[in-house]
Chains A and B, each alone.
Chain A
Amino acid sequence: MPGASEQIAQLEEVSLIARVRSGEKDCFLDLIHPYERSIYLLAYSVVRNKEDAEDAAQETVFKAFQHLEQLRSETTFKSWLLQIAMNEARLRLRRDRRHLYESLDDGAQETDDSEIMPRQFADWREIPSEALEQKEVRQKLQEALDELPPHYRQVFLLRDVEHMSEKESAEVLGITTAAVKTRLHRARLQLREHLTPVFKKRWTDRLPFLKGEKPW
């Protein structure tokens, strides 16, 4: 169940959609405002370069405006918008010859049923919130996400960064909710593996007089 503030936001969104449909074009920028970041992050997760991600985002916004009439009540505006972003980003990836040999998504590796078993068992140090504001740490977080296979990265982004439901994430990616579940599980475990070397406790952390060098 959505909270009261989410319900208010949904009502505002419905009203903005109606206003844009009735010709108040300027309202469109207010309508997409909460999703500007989401559009970019999803597009980037597909194309993995800033220029193409921005280009896909710009085209997404314009196409969403042009085709707003096609938005159906059973789909949320956010998942409809992100479906367009996904299509635009995939289109750019196909056009880009650098990725000629890279799978587009496609879950080609999905046929591999082998489970992802953790290999890193080191505990993590406490991560102070100031640490996450540091450029170097943020860069490592982005790199860890970039290292995931594309179909894991996109599910993780929608479910655990954007906090979309399984159903919405499945709609955006054009896959089943069962595939969302499987990919999310693998994405989480792999990402944890990638981050463990960054955040793990070192033996020197246990000795108050010998502090290890921290990444922040």
Chain B
Amino acid sequence: MVSCQHVLRELSNYIDDTVDADLRKAIERHLRWCRRCSVVLDTTRKTLTIYSDQGVLEIPAGYTERLRGSFLKKIEKHES
């Protein structure tokens, strides 16, 4: 049997699938009856899904154009 503390300590490794088979099974058994750990796992996964959508973090309007413009200007200056 693994404790809640143990499960939560291994949560990230469990999500990344880097725990060994025995520990994985033990965690899964724990999750079947422990609502709190299940909720933490589920909501952590949701957190990752939300941020893995690249567009969710915004960049300022016109950033790319300014970046490119600045590069071309710097190159020109550098060469003259």
B57: Cβ under 8 A from any A Cβ: yes
The SS class assigned to the B binding surface is helix
A117: B residues at CB distance < 8 A? 5, 8
Known A-B contacts A121-B40, A161-B52, A192-B40; A185 and B12 likewise in contact (beta carbons under 8 Å): yes
How far in angstroms is the closest Cβ of chain A from B59? Answer: 5
Please, what's the 1-or-0 string for A99-136, where 1 marks a CB less than 8 Å from any CB in chain B? Answer: 00000000000000001011001111001000010000
**Pick the contact of B47 from A29, A54, A65, A195 — CB < 8 Å?**
A195
Known A-B contacts A123-B39, A127-B50, A141-B51; A54 and B60 likewise in contact (beta carbons under 8 Å): yes
A141: B residues at CB distance < 8 A? 50-51, 56-57
How far in angstroms is the closest Cβ of chain B from A155? Answer: 11
**Pick the contact of A28 from B39, B52, B71 — CB < 8 Å?**
B71
**Pick the contact of A25 from B46, B58, B64, B75 — CB < 8 Å?**
B75
Q: Which residues of chain B in 59-80 are interfacial with respect to chain A, using CB atoms and an 8 Å cutoff?
A: 59-60, 63-64, 66-68, 70-71, 74-75, 78
A115 touches B9 (CB 8 A): yes
Complex Cα distance, B58 from A60, in Å, reads 20
Complex Cα distance, B48 from A156, in Å, reads 9
B42: A residues at CB distance < 8 A? 123-124
A138 touches B56 (CB 8 A): yes
B3: Cβ under 8 A from any A Cβ: no
B54: A residues at CB distance < 8 A? 37, 161
**Pick the contact of B70 from A25, A58, A156 — CB < 8 Å?**
A58
B70: A residues at CB distance < 8 A? 58, 61-62
A124 touches B52 (CB 8 A): no
B56 touches A188 (CB 8 A): no
B66 touches A123 (CB 8 A): no
A195: B residues at CB distance < 8 A? 43, 47, 50
B75 touches A192 (CB 8 A): no
Q: Can you report 21 A-B residue pairs in the complex whose CB atoms are below 8 A from each other? A: A25-B75, A29-B71, A37-B59, A41-B59, A57-B63, A61-B67, A62-B71, A115-B5, A115-B8, A117-B8, A122-B39, A124-B46, A132-B56, A141-B50, A141-B51, A145-B51, A181-B12, A189-B8, A189-B11, A195-B43, A199-B46
Interface residues of A (CB under 8 A from B): 25, 28-29, 36-37, 40-41, 50, 54, 57-58, 61-62, 65-66, 115, 117-118, 121-124, 127, 132, 138, 141-142, 145, 156, 160-161, 163, 181, 184-185, 188-189, 191-192, 195-196, 199
Interface residues of B (CB under 8 A from A): 5, 8-9, 11-13, 15, 36, 39-40, 42-44, 46-48, 50-54, 56-60, 63-64, 66-68, 70-71, 74-75, 78
Give me the 6 closest cross-chain CB pairs, A-B, nearest first.
A185-B12, A58-B70, A62-B74, A192-B47, A192-B44, A118-B40
